[in-house]
Structure 1
Amino acid sequence: MYSLILHGRRRSIELQTWRNLRDSVNLLQNAFAFSNPFSSVRAAADVSSRDGRKGQNFTVSYLVGTLGLTRKLSESISRKVSFEVKGNADSVLNLFRSHGFTDSQISGIITDYPKLLTADAKKSLGPKLQFLQSRGASSSEFTEIVSEVPKILGKTGEITLSRYYDFVKVVIEADKSSKYEKLCHSLPEGSKQENKIRNVLVLRELGVPKRLLFPLLISNGGPVHGKEKFDESIKKVVEMGFNPTTAKFVDALRIVQGLSDKKIEERVNFYRRLGFDGWEIFNKYPIFLALSEKNILNSVQTFLGLGFSRDEFAKMVNHFPPCIGLSSEMVKKKAGFLVKKMNWPRKSVVSNPAVLGYSLEKRIVPRCKVIKALMSKKLLGETGSELPPIGFVLKDTDKVFLSRFVRNYDDEELVAELMTIFTGDRAT
């Protein structure tokens, strides 16, 4: 399999007939066909949903008012943790301040690990901070280390806490002094954390940055366990040409480490039969190989059901592999909006498949409403109502979009109207 990896691009793609694929899709569809059994519990679900929204709304207001976070970021955090009273959260924030953390550090800690807001400040969080502070680092070093990897506070046991804390301290100091101490040499032989820290150090020496390294350190799973398998996987990923400074390197390691050679080969062969260059996609989007055959067939079914041809679907996947992992519901909503409501031809979506990865509510709809308004006023193109290329509308940053379609008009009232249209759909 290893030689297959290294020389995969040389292989020709074998195409299976799409009749077999459609048969597989139909079988899958029949297997999952069922009636809705949940109508009897809708009322209870509605109550639970309202309670959840209440907690989320309070959490958003608290984060904006207390920590100064943006509303968008606060809404994202509220989907991970929410509460309806501020007492416990206030205790957590006050605890951090009492240990010398700045407001900026506290905001970063909560953003990275929002579950701390619901932790018991007195019985759980306080003793951990006191223990770590006793490890000998200065006050500024202590707050820097915890701020860098706040999820350390989610670990239990003084031995585990101290080892991970000391490891992070060594890495941070190494960055400042250009020296590198191999902490794993000081670990007791056979400790549970020994192999993990050893493997993380290997990644560190390869150039994996801290932002990717530290999450692997404190994770319960992931690609940094074991020894022989890890060494073998690292060798493969490096020889495949992945850049250690990128997230793709870690994703590729996760796949090669987590799947057997046989399973990887089976997945690649399955994708080849569907018309995809599996290894080319793996290099662009490593976690592609983690998708099951059922996920792939569901995706095929969705796109064919929307009128895309088999060749168009293969082209989209080859150019933007993540589209095959999007939920069927979101693909239907986004493609339906772009093709049916905006009247862009399907070939525009095929040529720009990345647009299917954008947020419908926060990006696609607001921008398209601006375009519709300009078309209604006959301000676009030679005819006055010409639909611009889909890439011009959706792929650029907000700044570029506003410069091109809103702020380039001399009419102040028109600009104000367009800005209201653009921002109005983002209020929620």
Structure 2
Amino acid sequence: MSRLIRVFICRESLTIHKFLRSTITPTLLHNIHPLHRFISSETSINQHSFTTSYLINSCGLSPESAIKVSVRVNIKNADNPNSVISFLKNHGFSQKEIALLVVKRPELLLANVQNTLLPKFEYFYSIGVSRTDLPVILSKNASLLYRSLENQIVPCCEFFRSVLQSDEKFVAAIKRTSWAIICNFRNKVGPNLVHLQNLGVPTKCLSLMLTHYPEGLTAKHVEFKEAVEEVKKMGFDPEKTTFVLAINARSLKSRQSMCNRCSEVYRMWGWSEDDISMAFRKHPNCMLLSKKKVTKAMDFFVNKMGVQSKMIAANPRILFFSLEKRIIPRCSVIQVLISNGLVKKLPSLATLLRPCDKDFLRKFVMEYQEKVPQLLNIYKGKMAN
């Protein structure tokens, strides 16, 4: 429909509407409304179409994503969005990172560059976040750009920097868990970290928890303190990394449920309560593995390798290795060596699985390469079954 026709219809419809309002009953007038709804709908469709086109052509979104995102933002003209995109590109954002930001927070395109975006960028730069790191952090968590700089971002960042005692560690932490800056800091994370500090938990352990297992810090403070006391009674040393790992497994109700489900799986494989407690003390995260992962690993170790189930409880760390990429290739090599009489018995699973690839290859593959030329292919999984 041409612009001239739309204008004509709009003017004529307004004239008709005024006439009908003064001469026709409301019931009859109601039947005229579809014309106005059509005109309003036409305007809305045009605006929606402009937004969708802009998201595709200027932000790099796919047509499917643009259609979904367009219902969340109304771009009337390209001036402000263009200034936002230009600002992001000038600060090192790639087209892909800009697209991620827009998908997560499309209203970013309407933000005030000078008042909303620039002050936050400048603050992050001032505390050691590089122009390379910032796009990574923000593309994962665009909500950071909508939190108060003075009331949320600065207090959180300054506290975490004081805990970690290193800008390098702080940047590493927020690259992995930037949401920690926008969580309920004052009521949860902050008090929980202070509680661990007061117990003498060293900085390296606090850094480990904040960087890799921050979910455990989000528990309600009362419940968090109860979890800490429980872990202390179990004999965990606050100066060891296993202390914060155990807290991570116990501090949230959802984690406790995971521990209970995992315990049931271990019992199915013959572990006693003492076995379960021993495994938890050695590596608390073994109680947070999925039923599928535990079952597949235990089935391979017990039924295919002939390892006693209880032996795994003494070294639960081996359950974390990839079955396809690490466990099966290495065990396949050892089975060939045993069948050829080159190795007398199965080494401990720790000796077999924990060394890095380079050390394993040197000790168990290259050492016997001349006698068993196919070992390297077996290790790489290229031999036919």
- TM-score scaled by length of structure 2: 0.60
| Identical-pair percentage | 20
Q: How does 1:20-59 map to 2 (within 5 A)?
A: none
Tell me the CA shift for residue 210 of structure 1: 1.0
Paired with 1:272 and 1:235, the residues of 2 have a C-alpha distance of: 17
Structure 1: give runs of 5+ residues left out of the alignment: 1-90, 97-114, 176-189
Q: How does 1:123-134 map to 2 (within 5 A)?
A: 131=84, 133-134=86-87
Of residues 304, 315, 326 in structure 1, which corresponds to 2:267? 304
User: 2:53 is matched with which residue?
Assistant: none
Tell me the CA shift for residue 277 of structure 1: 4.9
Tell me the CA shift for residue 421 of structure 1: 1.2
Question: Does structure 1 retain, via aligned residues, the 8 Å contact 2:216–2:248?
Answer: yes
User: 1:64 is matched with which residue?
Assistant: none
* Matched residue SS, 1:424: coil
1:363 aligns with 2:312: no
Query: Looking at CA atoms only, which structure, 1 or 2, has the larger radius of gyration?
Result: 2
Letter in 2 for 1:264: F
Tell me the CA shift for residue 387 of structure 1: 1.1
CA RMSD of aligned residues (A): 4.4
User: 2:127 is matched with which residue?
Assistant: 171
Task: Spell out, residue by residue over 1:211-255, the C-alpha distance to the aligned partner (whole angstroms, 9 max, x if none).
Answer: 2124544x3x66754446555334223334242683324467653
Question: Does structure 1 retain, via aligned residues, the 8 Å contact 2:245–2:285?
Answer: no
Q: Classify 1:359/1:336 alpha carbon distance in 2 versus 1 (closer, same or farther; 3 Å).
A: same
User: 1:59 is matched with which residue?
Assistant: none
Tell me the CA shift for residue 193 of structure 1: 4.2
Of residues 348, 367, 385 in structure 1, which corresponds to 2:311? 348
Task: Spell out, residue by residue over 1:300-353, the C-alpha distance to the aligned partner (whole angstroms, 9 max, x if none).
Answer: 211111011221111111001111011122212211211221112334312221
User: 2:361 is matched with which residue?
Assistant: 402
Q: With a CA cutoff of 8 Å and minimum separation of 6, indicate the structure with the bigger relative contact order.
A: 1
Paired with 2:232 and 2:246, the residues of 1 have a C-alpha distance of: 16
Structure 2: give runs of 5+ residues left out of the alignment: 1-55, 132-145
Paired with 1:173 and 1:252, the residues of 2 have a C-alpha distance of: 21
Of residues 189, 193, 216 in structure 2, which corresponds to 1:255? 216
Q: How does 1:105-124 map to 2 (within 5 A)?
A: none
Question: Does structure 2 retain, via aligned residues, the 8 Å contact 1:271–1:277?
Answer: yes
Question: Does structure 2 retain, via aligned residues, the 8 Å contact 1:369–1:422?
Answer: yes
Paired with 2:311 and 2:119, the residues of 1 have a C-alpha distance of: 53
Paired with 1:372 and 1:266, the residues of 2 have a C-alpha distance of: 47
User: 1:73 is matched with which residue?
Assistant: none
Paired with 1:164 and 1:235, the residues of 2 have a C-alpha distance of: 26
Paired with 1:117 and 1:310, the residues of 2 have a C-alpha distance of: 55
User: 1:197 is matched with which residue?
Assistant: 153
- TM-score scaled by length of structure 1: 0.55
Question: Does structure 2 retain, via aligned residues, the 8 Å contact 1:323–1:353?
Answer: yes
Question: Does structure 1 retain, via aligned residues, the 8 Å contact 2:271–2:309?
Answer: yes
* Matched residue SS, 1:143: coil
Paired with 1:260 and 1:167, the residues of 2 have a C-alpha distance of: 30
Of residues 143, 163, 169 in structure 1, which corresponds to 2:92? 143
User: 1:241 is matched with which residue?
Assistant: 201
Q: Classify 1:117/1:214 alpha carbon distance in 2 versus 1 (closer, same or farther; 3 Å).
A: farther
Letter in 2 for 1:143: G
Paired with 2:196 and 2:260, the residues of 1 have a C-alpha distance of: 28
User: 1:18 is matched with which residue?
Assistant: none
1:423 aligns with 2:372: no
Question: Does structure 1 retain, via aligned residues, the 8 Å contact 2:187–2:221?
Answer: no
Tell me the CA shift for residue 151 of structure 1: 6.5
Q: Classify 1:286/1:264 alpha carbon distance in 2 versus 1 (closer, same or farther; 3 Å).
A: closer
